[in-house]
Amino acid sequence: MSLIIYALIQNGQKNSSIKKCIDTFSEEIEINLKIINYKELSAVFSVEVQKVEKADKADFIKYAEIIDKISKTCTLLPMRYGSLVTSYDDLYALLDKNYSAFLESIHKINGKEEYSVKVLFSSKNQDNIINNNLGDVSLKVPNILMGTSDSKQYLLEKYKKHTIEERRNKYIEKLKLSFLDEVRKLTECVEFNKTLTSAFIIDAVVLIEKYKKEKLLEGIDNLRKMYPENNIIITGPWPPYNFVNINIQ
């Protein structure tokens, strides 16, 4: 037997509505979702008669559907995809050992939701804007690099590339600061993806109170007006996957 754990919720959050939602959704996706209570917490899980070694792609899709559905009814703490235990005793032990960390995390995200913000590079438009704002590179070449020899030409090209890259980085930094100025009017909970591809300037997630949604959208619109050359995309709300970091014991 395996128990697949999907999420934790805090007791007292419209319990009857949550149970009704889970019962209805269980029928729709043909998974018998259950709720088990432990002190102030409840765990949403399903029971598989046969032992599950690891979750597959179909399980992941169902996991995402379950988290999305429940999150529209209450604040939840999504468990890591593929969280499995082998018995009810193991589930109670998990809740007991990590109770304080689970409860603290739920309090942190209570009444809040996550949004994703991506700012994409528009190479053609931005190169024009960067050059227009900062002038012609060739007009600022040091005298030591002037000349017609192969070595001078090589160094000159390196210098120009370095200067353009430096300008680009300054532009990116300015845009990031503008983004943070808008977001930090609403929240300090901002996380950046540090492994960006060349297509992105910003790939970030923010956590805000639900009632601040319109203010966030206004802030993103302000950013679009300041940087019309960029494609700025906001998606959400999502369950707060990126703001729950628990080392489960």
Name the more confident of 239 and 213. 213
3-state secondary structure of 211: helix
Q: Of 4-13, 53-62, 235-244, where does the model show the most confidence?
A: 235-244
Of the chain, the end-to-end C-alpha distance in Å amounts to 21
- The distance of Cα 112 from the centroid of its chain, to the nearest Å, equals 13
pTM surpassing 0.85? no
Position 137 scores a pLDDT of 47
Q: Which value, to the nearest 10 degrees, does the dihedral of the CA atoms of residues 23, 29, 30, 34 take? A: -40
Question: In angstroms, what CA-CA distances link 149 with 23, 82, 146, 154, 163?
Answer: 79, 63, 9, 9, 21
Position 134 scores a pLDDT of 45
| Residue 49's pLDDT band (cuts 50, 70, 90) | low
Rg (CA), the chain: 25
Cα(48)–Cα(83) distance, rounded to whole angstroms? Answer: 13
Cα(44)–Cα(73) distance, rounded to whole angstroms? Answer: 13
Opening angle at CA 22, ends 16 and 247, nearest 5 = 100
- Is residue 233 scored above 70 in pLDDT? yes
- Is residue 179 scored above 70 in pLDDT? yes
Ordered by start, the domain boundaries in the chain are 2-110, 113-243
Which CATH architecture describes the domain 2-110? 2-Layer Sandwich (3.30)
Encoded tokens for 40: 């102030």
Name the more confident of 40 and 48. 40
* pLDDT single digits (tens) 151-170: 666 666 676 777 777 887 88
Contact assessment for residue 68 and residue 19, using Cβ atoms and an 8 Å cutoff? no
30: left (phi over 0), alpha (psi -120 to 50) or beta: left
